[in-house]
A and B are shown apart, each in its own frame.
Chain A
Amino acid sequence: MALPLDGVRVVEMGYYTAGPVCGRYLRDLGADVVRIEPGDGDPTRKAGGKASAAWSFLFGQNNAGKQSISLDLKDPDGARRLGLLLGQADVFLCSFPPDVMARLHLSPEDCRERNEQLVYCGVSGFGLDAPVAQRALDVTIQAQAGMMNLTGHDGRPTKIGISICDDLAAQTATFGILTALLERDATGTGQLVDVAIYDAAVWATEYRWPSLLESLPFDEQLGNADPCSGVEDVVATADGRLAVSLPWSDPGPELSEVLGGVTSATPRQGLEHLRDWASTRTTAEAVITLGAAGVVCSPVNAISEVMTTPMAVDGELLDIPDGGMPDAINSPLIIDGARLRPAGPAPELDEHDPDLWVQWGAHDQ
């Protein structure tokens, strides 16, 4: 199957999550993605000890299917060789801070001189022209962008477990690069995509903005409730926990029958009745009974349970070889009925030197 980005060439510089995960998205969509790493490699490769296998999986997840070239960019020859690659690239994806890129003579202006058709995507904490020049990581952005104050139970701001800001920045960079490729083709000019992790995080809180102007009581932590969706909470069962969502309208006679004929004056009262009922049932029993009654619910799954859900298994989200570790989680996209999978495992350091230079035609004139 021809993939959407077949023939698109991406040069990627960056560690950890935001930049590399964007590169992973582009690679899964068919682009050739080459990572530029220092002589001793991306630091993510070097983690050892008890966490080495976990780190290895994370590195594999973020970099599956890419190619690797090792260059010392402080050495003139390393910089020259990177310039040759950029001359043949469609996209330069970098997630080092703007001041670092400038010191390496890899600012947008520097790169335009090498390739006027380039799509340059800079991913940084606060933007290429940021008024705030401070280092940032996922959780500092979660705090600064208001996410932690919106998440949690009463009075206890809470970080979202996954690295949501880095993940959103990766998605935003992918969105921006694809937009820029279309705009480049329409206008014939190179494009600059400026992605700030802070911007992506603030953007994601838009759903809660109306509470401020309307003076609605929804501007801090709401626990497990989202009143817009209905009357919701997590209730304890005899052997676990269950997320339940009831409509604001009458849940109907089916729920009443489940509850043994108990009727509820309000949806909130119905939820309390359901809480009592669930406490004496197993999670599996509650899911079946409530599901049959049309009540929206789900077990609060542990990670090992998530991997065995029908959505994960039937959806082919993870290919686990017998007795081994998977290389990576598969793409969240299905193209023409086929789940996108990474083209291969993450590369060894400098694995694609010298072949890549030939493939890309990246030679001195």
Chain B
Amino acid sequence: MSAHVPSTAATGTERAPASAPLAAFAGLRIVEVTSDRSAGALTGRMLAQLGAGCERIDAGSAAAGATVDEPPDEVASWRAALAMMYGAGKQLREPAALDDLDGLLSGADVLLVDDAGIRAMGGSKALDAALSRFPELICCPVTAVGGHDGAGGDTATELTVEAAAGVLGTTGHSLEETVRAGFPVGDIIAALNAVSGTLAALIRRQRTGEGTRVDTSVFDGLFFFLGTFMAKWLAAGIEPQPVGNRHPVIGPWNDYPTSDGSVVICVATDAAWGRLCELLGTGGEREDWPAWSNNERVARQDEIDVWISEWTRTRTSDDVLTQVDQLGVPCSRLQSLAEVLDSQQTRARGLIEEAANGASIARLPFRLRRL
């Protein structure tokens, strides 16, 4: 199976050339001991995209007594594609390399592990021992739920960590129908935290010559972003509920039906609210609506949503977006993934690149050039 996302031929999507290696990362050596679709593996992929040399040991096959999962063919195809994507730019090494840990880590700048990697290396103490033998090493464990023995990898998946961390309970249209994110948001957040922690440690090493241990977890990363919801509980003892497609403390903010689909409209300021009121036309019983504060709008969003829906329902999405955008009010069409990857914006920004292993992968999420 080929591990490509839509190619030029398949969808018209242009693919950017591979990210150019950066001078700062030339000669940097990463040793990665991870399973193949984890936050740790994604962290290593990002470092490889910057130009670091990344040697990966598959912690799944290195673990004693590892079980072999046998999913249906379509799932196996998906897993294989992801393994190619997350493995892009890495050199695969045999698990036997772990038998000579000093040899493996000699000359390494960064040791990157996940739960499976911690277990494969004999536990967290082995990481500290490695740091004591190689005092300039940067060691970054990226785990599911923290802890020191790597057991979290056996007792948690993305779904259960999203559930434990409150992300699942605050996403959805009602308490009975809460839902996870449609992609592994916890792994992605953890990987970005891990890569930043690692880069910050490299900056410190330039100055002090000292290595660093940088720990982070999927749970910790998700918890950090709960502020919007946590504020209600901490300030007023109100248990936050899932808010559907609304914002918990700003409004009106929702998806609205049009004659040919649906759009999202978000009013974030009093001025934007005033302009929207002018466009839709207030009068009669709505005469005082333009003066409503944000807090009043949030409290009465049911009424406001009915009003906005009456207006959008009789217009096409293009018509609604054109008129609302002219007000400077943020709005958007709900796009499918296929539409996204084939969009003008995605093409213009070159968000897909072809890796050396032939996989089409996401370009690093920022652009960098000389000022």
Interface string of A160-184 (1 = CB under 8 A from B): 1111100110011111101111110
Give the residue of A172, A181, A185, A228 whose beta carbon is less than 8 angstroms from that of B365.
Answer: A172
Closest chain-B Cβ to A80's Cβ sits at a distance in Å of 21
On whether the beta carbons of B330 and A219 are closer than 8 Å, the reply is no
Closest 6 CB pairs of A and B: A150-B182, A53-B235, A190-B371, A161-B170, A210-B81, A176-B366
On whether the beta carbons of B227 and A329 are closer than 8 Å, the reply is yes
A209-B229 CB under 8 A given contacts A144-B335, A157-B255, A336-B213: no
Q: How far is the CA of A224 from the CA of B345 in the complex (A)?
A: 30
On whether the beta carbons of B69 and A247 are closer than 8 Å, the reply is yes
On whether the beta carbons of B341 and A329 are closer than 8 Å, the reply is no
Q: Which chain B residue has the least Cβ–Cβ distance from A325?
A: B234
On whether the beta carbons of A193 and B221 are closer than 8 Å, the reply is no
A362: Cβ under 8 A from any B Cβ: no
On whether the beta carbons of A228 and B294 are closer than 8 Å, the reply is no
Q: Of residues B5, B249, B345, B351, which shows the largest number of chain A Cβ atoms within 10 Å of its Cβ?
A: B345
Interface string of B328-344 (1 = CB under 8 A from A): 11111111111111001
Give the residue of A54, A190, A210, A300 whose beta carbon is less than 8 angstroms from that of B169.
Answer: A300
Q: How far is the CA of A131 from the CA of B70 in the complex (A)?
A: 45
On whether the beta carbons of A192 and B370 are closer than 8 Å, the reply is yes
A288: Cβ under 8 A from any B Cβ: no
For the side of the interface on A, what is the size category? 35 or more
On whether the beta carbons of A131 and B348 are closer than 8 Å, the reply is yes
Closest chain-A Cβ to B40's Cβ sits at a distance in Å of 15
A358: Cβ under 8 A from any B Cβ: no
B223: Cβ under 8 A from any A Cβ: yes
A190-B370 CB under 8 A given contacts A159-B244, A325-B234: yes
On whether the beta carbons of B369 and A191 are closer than 8 Å, the reply is yes
On whether the beta carbons of B226 and A139 are closer than 8 Å, the reply is no
Q: How far is the CA of A163 from the CA of B213 in the complex (A)?
A: 29
A262: Cβ under 8 A from any B Cβ: no
Give the residue of A118, A219, A320, A336 whose beta carbon is less than 8 angstroms from that of B336.
Answer: A219
On whether the beta carbons of A162 and B226 are closer than 8 Å, the reply is yes
A315-B69 CB under 8 A given contacts A49-B295, A202-B346: no
On whether the beta carbons of B164 and A309 are closer than 8 Å, the reply is yes
On whether the beta carbons of A317 and B223 are closer than 8 Å, the reply is yes
Q: How far is the CA of A141 from the CA of B330 in the complex (A)?
A: 9
B247: Cβ under 8 A from any A Cβ: yes
Interface string of B214-241 (1 = CB under 8 A from A): 1111011111111111111111100110
On whether the beta carbons of B226 and A306 are closer than 8 Å, the reply is yes
What's the A-B contact tally at a CB cutoff of 8 Å? Answer: 511
A140-B193 CB under 8 A given contacts A226-B158, A306-B165: no
CB neighbours of B97 from chain A (8 A): none
A130: Cβ under 8 A from any B Cβ: yes
CB neighbours of B337 from chain A (8 A): 146, 149-150, 205, 208-209, 211-212, 219
On whether the beta carbons of B192 and A171 are closer than 8 Å, the reply is yes
Please tell me which stretch of B54-62, B112-120, B198-206, B277-285 contacts chain A, meaning at least 4 of its Cβ atoms lie within 8 angstroms of it: B198-206
Give the residue of B200, B225, B246, B268 whose beta carbon is less than 8 angstroms from that of A4.
Answer: B200
B306: Cβ under 8 A from any A Cβ: no
A230: Cβ under 8 A from any B Cβ: yes
Give the residue of B70, B171, B204, B361 whose beta carbon is less than 8 angstroms from that of A151.
Answer: B171
Interface string of A315-354 (1 = CB under 8 A from B): 1011010000110110111111100000000000000000
On whether the beta carbons of B334 and A195 are closer than 8 Å, the reply is no
Q: How far is the CA of A332 from the CA of B200 in the complex (A)?
A: 14
- Beyond A108-B371, A199-B365, A249-B68: 4 further Cβ-contacts under 8 Å? A140-B264, A140-B331, A146-B335, A207-B188
CB neighbours of B329 from chain A (8 A): 135
Give the residue of A144, A162, A173 whose beta carbon is less than 8 angstroms from that of B332.
Answer: A144
Interface string of A1-39 (1 = CB under 8 A from B): 011111110000000000000000100010000000000
CB neighbours of B349 from chain A (8 A): 126-127, 196, 198-199
On whether the beta carbons of B167 and A161 are closer than 8 Å, the reply is yes
CB neighbours of B345 from chain A (8 A): 126, 130-132, 144, 198
On whether the beta carbons of A303 and B166 are closer than 8 Å, the reply is yes
A191-B370 CB under 8 A given contacts A2-B208, A152-B182, A208-B183: yes
A202-B362 CB under 8 A given contacts A208-B337, A306-B165: yes
Give the residue of B70, B164, B224, B262 whose beta carbon is less than 8 angstroms from that of A248.
Answer: B70
Closest chain-B Cβ to A161's Cβ sits at a distance in Å of 4
B308: Cβ under 8 A from any A Cβ: no
On whether the beta carbons of A207 and B333 are closer than 8 Å, the reply is no
Q: How far is the CA of A309 from the CA of B221 in the complex (A)?
A: 15
On whether the beta carbons of A143 and B332 are closer than 8 Å, the reply is yes
Closest chain-A Cβ to B260's Cβ sits at a distance in Å of 15
CB neighbours of A152 from chain B (8 A): 172, 179, 182
Give the residue of B50, B161, B235 whose beta carbon is less than 8 angstroms from that of A57.
Answer: B235
CB neighbours of A196 from chain B (8 A): 349
